[in-house]
Every structure is written in C-alpha cells, then in structure tokens.
Amino acid sequence: MRILAAIVIVSFLVSPAKPTAMSPDRIFSENRNSVVRIFTNGVLNGCGFVVSEDGLIVTANHVVTTEESELSEPFSRIEVQQVGGSHPHYATVIDHSRVSDTALLQIHVAKSPHVSLGDLSKTKPFDTATLITFWPGSDVPLLLNGIVSGIGVQKV
C-alpha cells in the first residue's frame, strides 16, 4: 500500500515536467482511450485510467468501496468500461487506501491502451498536470489541466 499513493501521483502527470513539451490536444489524443468508467453493482460510480497494458487501473477508493463499510470494503461487483469498448470487464481490487483515497484495480485483457506517465523525479511545483476524466452522464472524455501544488509520497 505504501507505493499506492506514489503511483497515483505519478499517474496524474501524463505530460512531461515541461508544460510546453506536449500540448493538451496531443495529451488528450494519445491518452483518451486509457480512461475508463467504473460501474459498481451496475451503476456508474466514477472513472479511472489504465496504467499498464495488462489492465492495471488507478482510481479513487471512494469509487470502489461501500459507504456502509465506511469505505473499507469493495463493492461486490465492479465493472470497467473502456472508451469505445463494447462491453464492460469485471475488475478485481488489488489494493486500496481510505487515507489517500486511492485504489488499484485489475481487469483481465490481453493488451490494453494505457496512459503515458510523466517522470515524478523531474516534476516540481507549478508544473502543468493533466487529467482526463468523464463529465457525469457523458460518454465523452473531458480534459482538465492544472498546476502541481506539491510533491511527496504519502505513507499509509
């Protein structure tokens, strides 16, 4: 679980540390198929993104755990639908943390599109960070840009 927070922080940085190195349009076009919608017990509950071609997915803990368990137990049925995918894949929770609100899921696929991750060692405060997500109720991915406010690894 200790590396989970670091993975999530790096994963949000899909552009290189220099904001001019990659345009938002290029980031979006190269990574949009890596964004997934996550359904819990048949209901859309959030989104995440694929970080490896074997189907490892990063999302928020509150997306995949039940409120009744105070966000400590995963839902009984978690499905993931990739952009342009015709059917959802069943997902397994590999690890999750209430403290950092992060979760790692695994879907079983032969080869999946995945995000191009930035290099955390070259990232500094005030660099540009890019996130691709879905607007609630939409089937079209949304691009959000922001600024890195701090760097660090949260120990859980």
Can you spell out the DSSP letters for 96-132? Answer: EETTTTEEEEEE--SS--------GGG--TT-EEEEE
Spatial CB neighbours of 120, under 8 Å, sequence gap ≥ 6: 6, 9, 10, 13, 151
Q: How confident is the model at residue 140 (pLDDT cuts 50, 70, 90)?
A: confident
Place of tokens 């964004």: 35
Answer yes or no: are the C-beta atoms of 50 and 56 closer than 8 Å: yes
- Report the top-level CATH class of 2-147: mainly beta
pTM: 0.77
Please give the average per-residue pLDDT across 36-56, as a whole number.
Answer: 92
**Region 59-72 average pLDDT:** 95
Question: What value does the mean pLDDT take over residues 86-101?
Answer: 91
